[in-house]
């Protein structure tokens, strides 16, 4: 018997968590989190979408964590901190250029000083020039990989030296790590490298009980995602549920991986893509 496909409104999946409206439940009480990439790019959109880094910063603070928010954009990261403190949370702002190894070392020390200790880390920095293979220069390739993978290695390297036993690290990759359909090889290869780096960091940290996992979002309605949609208006045509995800829908899986709820999850990559990467779609 053939069962006809059931069509429902995209709003069916828009729970309170998906729009950032659910209350905190104390899931990060007593934790000390550094989010690298806690700001977000400027946009002229009338309704500004929340980015992944800002969403996890706000959510972790709502769940009881003290948060150090770092970004290259001082005004934007201060905006994240202001939203946290207005909500009754505890946060501080740090400015960092992750292309500078010395700035990364200073950021780790500043975060630990501001928080008192460091037992959770999210690395959420990345750039994309959106260039096809025949348009990539050596300089643009090196810059993209420098921000998207070298900085992650340096941040984790420095953080492992000071993080408390039992800490957790989450790296932000992308569905682009799995597929070449975006015709954006510098971005795709750098994001694929993050998956291997996550496993390497997990291996390096296991003696201290420090876990590292990777979240790989699919098509998400963030300022960066909207810029990609402007370049390719049909990019979300095959997304299950009939919509893109939200930054909050990326933040909640990150929250799980940062929390003690996921104490036996290590070296794992979690695809947060609504099923888009699954071959059945």
How many other β-carbons are positioned within 10 Å of the β-carbon of residue 152? 27
Q: What is residue 48's DSSP assignment? A: P
Q: How far apart are CA 89 and CA 67, in angstroms?
A: 9
Residue from 212, 276, 210 nearest 249 by CA: 276
Q: Are 70 and 95 spatial neighbours (Cβ–Cβ below 8 Å)?
A: yes
Catalytic residue among 84, 163, 187, 191: 187
Q: How far apart are CA 281 and CA 94, in angstroms?
A: 41
Instruction: Tell me if residue 187 is catalytic.
Output: yes
The SS3 of residue 218 is: coil
Q: How far apart are CA 147 and CA 128, in angstroms?
A: 10
Q: Catalytic site residues?
A: 187
């Amino acid at each position: 018997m053939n069962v006809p496909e059931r069509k429902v409104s995209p709003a069916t999946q828009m729970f309170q968590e998906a729009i950032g409206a659910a209350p905190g439940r104390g899931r990060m009480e007593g934790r000390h989190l550094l989010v690298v990439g806690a700001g977000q790019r400027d946009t002229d959109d009338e309704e500004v979408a929340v980015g992944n880094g800002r969403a996890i910063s706000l959510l972790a603070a709502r769940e009881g964590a003290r948060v150090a928010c770092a970004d290259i954009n001082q005004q934007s990261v201060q905006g994240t901190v202001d939203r946290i403190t207005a909500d009754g949370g505890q946060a501080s702002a740090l400015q960092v250029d992750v292309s500078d190894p010395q700035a990364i070392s200073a950021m780790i020390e500043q975060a630990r000083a501001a928080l008192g200790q460091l037992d959770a880390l999210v690395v959420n920095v990345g750039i994309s020039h959106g260039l096809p293979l025949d348009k990539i220069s050596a300089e643009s390739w090196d810059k993209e990989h420098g921000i998207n993978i070298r900085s992650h290695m340096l941040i984790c390297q420095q953080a492992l030296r000071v993080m408390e036993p039992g800490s957790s690290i989450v790296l932000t990759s992308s569905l682009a790590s799995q597929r070449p359909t975006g015709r954006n090889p510098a971005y795709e290869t750098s994001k694929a490298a993050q998956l291997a780096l996550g496993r390497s960091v997990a291996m390096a940290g296991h003696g201290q009980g420090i876990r590292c996992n990777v979240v790989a979002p699919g098509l998400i309605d963030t300022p960066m995602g909207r810029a990609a949609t402007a370049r390719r208006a049909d990019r979300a045509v095959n997304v299950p549920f009939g919509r893109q995800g939200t930054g909050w829908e990326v933040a909640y899986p990150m929250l799980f991986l940062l929390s003690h709820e996921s104490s036996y999850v290590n070296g794992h990559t979690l695809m947060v893509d609504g099923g888009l990467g699954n071959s059945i779609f």
